[in-house]
Amino acid sequence: MPTARLIYDTPEHDTDLYYAIKMFVPDAFPYLEARGKKIMIMNDLEIDRAKKQASVDEVWSINPFIEAAKKKHKIQTTADVIYEILRKAKVKKVEMPSRTAFTLVDALRKKGITVVSGGNPFYPQRLIKTREEKKIMEKSQRTVFAALKIVEETLRASRAKGGKLYHRGTLLTSDRVRSIIDVFLMERGYVANDTIVACGAHSIDPHDVGSGPLKPNEAIIVDIFPRSLKTRYFGDATRTFCKGKASPALKHMYGVVKKGQELGLKMIKAGVNGKKVHESIVSLFDKEGYPTGEKDGRMQGFFHSTGHGIGLDLHESPTRIGPVDQKMKAGIMVSVEPGLYFKGIGGVRIEDLAYITKRGCEVLAGYPKRLEIK
């Protein structure tokens, strides 16, 4: 029995669906791949647009399937309509994304349809980026670096007063800098969520977005990871700044993190185990006097992965450079973002995106790595 592929979702929510059809539709709809054909089943509102824009072989109207379901059921469910679609396509077995609602899977099974779970991602080939995708992501990354430049310029123009930073006479806070970043990106067609501008004590928690006043002479982690509204691909980069004079401890830690990232970028290439890359950086940090573990009631040191896959998803599974075995493949895009986080010193993280090749990796775009901003 041949297995068809079925997705019922929206391209906004399911990046595998967007990858398959290259079109946005706000409401969920059935998408079917059967006997070598890619088929969208659309309502009257979207059917003509789908015929023009979607990267599919056929577009069917959903109306006949709704009518067929009405003849059998007083109240029609999504499963009733999809069953009629599968009947026309002569499909009895489907593979669906693992995140599909259990209620839909269960209902289809009760109707005699064999449903099996697909992998994550549903289209594993999308992990390998084409030259065009690489160019698209490089553009996203250049936009991120342009936003980082705005942050650096804002910090450079700020002045310290009473242990806080002021910009053009107004208190400079994490929220204010985050707004500057988000507006800058939005004007260029990018949307950022949870942009991190974390200063001082906030910087020792890697996912603390930051709040309150920015302070001189302390670490400020700025992590920007927006999505393009046009292409849907992400950019992602992190720099750590210090407005004023960094303490010797912060300076030294920054230098070690920078050395750790350079080691990772030097090691990454097709065929290399990401676990080995991660463990080498951990070992370097240990030798430099920065062990990882719980201390004073919280985790300190380097307690996240070195990197993750990225593309249409910010964290593109299953790619990860961390404490699990993961062989790197040519064409995969990864972040490389080691960090160190210690109470009393602050947090430091440096992140770039790298495109894996057979001989090594290529860093996308580029932006200076400097701690102190005078």
CA nearest to 235, candidates 140, 321, 306, 318 = 140
Band (236; pLDDT cuts 50, 70, 90): very high
Query: Mean per-residue pLDDT for 268-284?
Result: 98
pLDDT digits (tens, 9 = 90+) for 49-101: 999 999 999 999 999 999 999 999 999 999 999 999 999 999 999 999 999 99
Domains along the sequence of the chain with CATH: 4-122 (3.40.350.10), 127-373 (3.90.230.10)
Gap between the Cα atoms of 316 and 322, Å rounded? 14
- Determine the pLDDT at residue 110: 97
| Inter-residue contact 356 to 270 (CB < 8 Å) | yes
pLDDT digits (tens, 9 = 90+) for 165-198: 999 999 999 999 999 999 999 999 999 999 999 9
- Determine the pLDDT at residue 1: 65
In the predicted model, is pLDDT for residue 117 greater than 90?
yes
| Inter-residue contact 242 to 218 (CB < 8 Å) | yes
Angle at 27 between CA 26 and CA 32, to 5 degrees: 110
Pairing of strands 333-336, 352-356: antiparallel
- Determine the pLDDT at residue 2: 80
